[in-house]
């Protein structure tokens, strides 16, 4: 394991030059202190977990100190926000401190969010507040534990620095990790500003470092785009299968790697609601839960437009056509597994759709339904879950089809079925009210609840002794929390 001063830097994105990013030093926050750290994320950098409790850890990730080899840069990009093109966005409160590679040869961006003003802050103060930093930390690590591709979060550092949002709050910084922080909006920026040389330089950078296998294909850029389409189809299938709503699927928030990226007013579904909108600023419901699927395709189309200098329109259109079938295949496979099936039948999609409609009409808790469905035999489970539904006749009809479907599986014992289902159906998810409870305690200086919640969410599929309160349906107040982009 390494100490903090033993990290090995290789700042590949910084070497692209000033056309791609601007050198900016982080602005330190006052009296930095550790709120929470992820041992699993620290392991990605080969860091000894004990260093998180040292003063230098808070100083480094609170903007007070910097490695000599670090080259902090604010990245420039543009993007479509709620469908409208914004010509220049960029890191308004984040800095790419540098790239570190570990003993396994993996490169990880160190990206400090809340690091102060940059040339792209657009009248903002460049700060992040404690609540948004905690939410991003918890979400990053919780999604990873669920098997959903995501940026990672190393730590949250709190402070006494005051910042103003709707009210006075405290500034914080979150250190996030990803193999790359390049977004769809990076390509859009150089396309729309008509800078073909930089556009090609960026494309070659991404291709060689992040999609090297595509270099062996006859058309490397087309192969890269196909891989991006495939990754996003699978990512959004996992969002939909696990009830995750991102909230701000602007193209500047879409990772070129197909990972969940830039956490704002996200939410996991409590009661199933296909029309759920987690961002209270989203008046039209553009980024509602069910709309995430077509918006994923829309965003890929925006990226395709930016790649027209390298790939024919016909080839781009054909590749985009793969998105929906790939999404449907991944989604149905996940939902089959969530229902305990190990084989495929033609009517499985209808069975899933009918169940979701019944859940929608009855306000059934999305996560707990699937977990409880695997607690015991299919017959006993549906009998126990029946009382959650308003349309009893409709549920009974579905339950008969489900029990018959399970019988046709004939794949092992009830115990094996339970193990299979519990391995894909979490007991614990990051519900908004749980995050809010942890945030309220942290704002009063008590970080124990953030740390406890983080620990529970790192093992979402395992029943944890004494943690029953994290596996409950939310109270009424917890179902209707309005989350904004403000951070």
Is 366 a domain residue?
A: yes
Is 105 a domain residue?
A: yes
170: annotated binding-site residue?
A: no
Is 173 a domain residue?
A: yes
Is 9 a domain residue?
A: yes
Residue 12, both tokens: 């590949």
pTM: 0.96
Into how many domains does the chain fold? 2
Instruction: Domain of residue 405: give its range.
Output: 339-422
Residue 302, both tokens: 């925006």
12: annotated binding-site residue?
A: no
Show which of 404, 422, 440 is a domain's final residue. 422
> CB–CB of 147/425 below 8 Å?
no
> CB–CB of 74/94 below 8 Å?
yes
Show which of 384, 401, 422 is a domain's final residue. 422
Is 459 a domain residue?
A: no
Is 320 a domain residue?
A: no
Show which of 422, 445, 462 is a domain's final residue. 422
The reply to whether 252 belongs to the active site is yes
Going by C-alpha positions, the residue among 133, 66, 69 that lies closest to residue 100 is 69
387: annotated binding-site residue?
A: no
3 state SS of 10: coil
* Torsion from C-alpha of 188, 194, 197, 202, nearest 10 degrees: -10
Is 68 a domain residue?
A: yes
Which pLDDT belongs to residue 232? 98
126: annotated binding-site residue?
A: yes
State the catalytic residue, choosing from 252, 270, 282, 365.
Answer: 252
262: annotated binding-site residue?
A: yes
Q: How far apart are CA 47 and CA 2, in angstroms?
A: 5
E strand or H helix at 261, and its extent? none
Going by C-alpha positions, the residue among 92, 67, 71, 59 that lies closest to residue 15 is 71
Beta bridge partners of 153: 176
92: annotated binding-site residue?
A: yes
Divide the 487 residues of the chain into consecutive groups of 10 and give the mean pLDDT of each group. 90 97 97 98 97 96 96 97 90 96 96 96 91 97 98 98 93 98 97 96 97 97 98 98 97 97 94 93 91 98 98 98 98 98 96 98 97 96 97 98 91 87 98 96 98 98 96 84 62
Strand 244-245 relative to strand 267-268: parallel, antiparallel, unpaired?
antiparallel
> CB–CB of 219/315 below 8 Å?
yes
Is 39 a domain residue?
A: yes
């Amino acid at each position: 394991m390494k100490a903090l001063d033993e990290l090995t830097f290789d700042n590949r994105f910084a070497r692209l030059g000033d056309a791609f990013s601007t050198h900016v030093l982080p602005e330190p926050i006052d009296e930095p202190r550790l709120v929470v750290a992820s041992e699993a994320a620290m392991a990605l950098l080969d860091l000894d977990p004990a260093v998180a409790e040292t003063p230098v850890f808070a100083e480094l990730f609170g903007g007070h100190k910097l490695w000599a080899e670090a080259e902090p840069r604010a990245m420039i990009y543009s993007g479509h926000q709620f469908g409208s093109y914004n010509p220049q966005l960029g890191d308004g409160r984040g800095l790419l401190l540098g790239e570190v590679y570990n003993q396994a040869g993996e490169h990880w961006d160190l990206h400090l969010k809340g690091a102060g003003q940059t040339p792209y802050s657009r009248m903002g103060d460049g700060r992040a507040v404690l609540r948004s930093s905690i939410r991003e930390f918890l979400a990053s690590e919780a999604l990873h534990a669920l098997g959903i591709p995501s940026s990672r979060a190393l730590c949250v550092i709190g402070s006494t620095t005051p910042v103003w949002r709707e009210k006075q709050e405290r500034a914080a910084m979150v250190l996030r990790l990803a193999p790359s922080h390049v977004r769809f909006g990076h390509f859009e920026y150089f396309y729309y500003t008509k800078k073909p040389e930089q556009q090609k330089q960026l494309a070659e950078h991404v291709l060689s470092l992040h999609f090297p296998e595509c270099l062996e294909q006859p058309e490397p850029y087309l192969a890269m785009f196909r891989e991006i389409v495939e990754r996003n189809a699978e990512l959004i299938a996992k969002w939909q299968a696990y009830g995750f709503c991102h909230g701000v699927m602007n193209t500047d928030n879409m990772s070129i790697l197909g990972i969940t990226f830039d956490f704002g007013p996200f939410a996991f579904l409590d009661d199933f609601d296909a029309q759920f909108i987690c961002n209270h600023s989203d008046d039209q419901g553009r980024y509602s839960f069910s709309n995430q699927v077509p918006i994923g395709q829309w965003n890929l189309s925006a990226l395709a437009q930016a790649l027209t200098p390298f790939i024919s329109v016909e080839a781009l259109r054909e590749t985009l056509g793969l998105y929906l079938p790939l999404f449907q295949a991944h989604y149905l496979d996940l939902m089959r597994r969530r229902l305990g099936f190990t084989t495929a039948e033609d009517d499985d999609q209808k069975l899933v759709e009918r169940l979701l409609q019944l859940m929608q009409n009855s306000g059934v808790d999305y996560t707990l339904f699937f977990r409880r469905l695997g607690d015991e035999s299919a017959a006993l489970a549906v009998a126990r879950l029946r009382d959650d539904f308003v349309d009893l006749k409709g549920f009974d009809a579905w339950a008969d089809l489900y029990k018959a479907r399970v019988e046709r599986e004939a794949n092992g014992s009830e115990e094996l079925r339970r193990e299979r289902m519990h391995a894909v159906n979490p007991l614990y998810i990051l519900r908004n009210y749980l995050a809010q409870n942890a945030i309220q305690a942290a704002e009063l200086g008590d970080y124990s609840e953030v740390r406890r919640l983080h620990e529970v969410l790192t093992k979402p599929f395992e029943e944890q002794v004494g943690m029953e309160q994290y596996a409950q349906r939310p109270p009424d107040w917890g179902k209707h929390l309005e989350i904004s982009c403000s951070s």
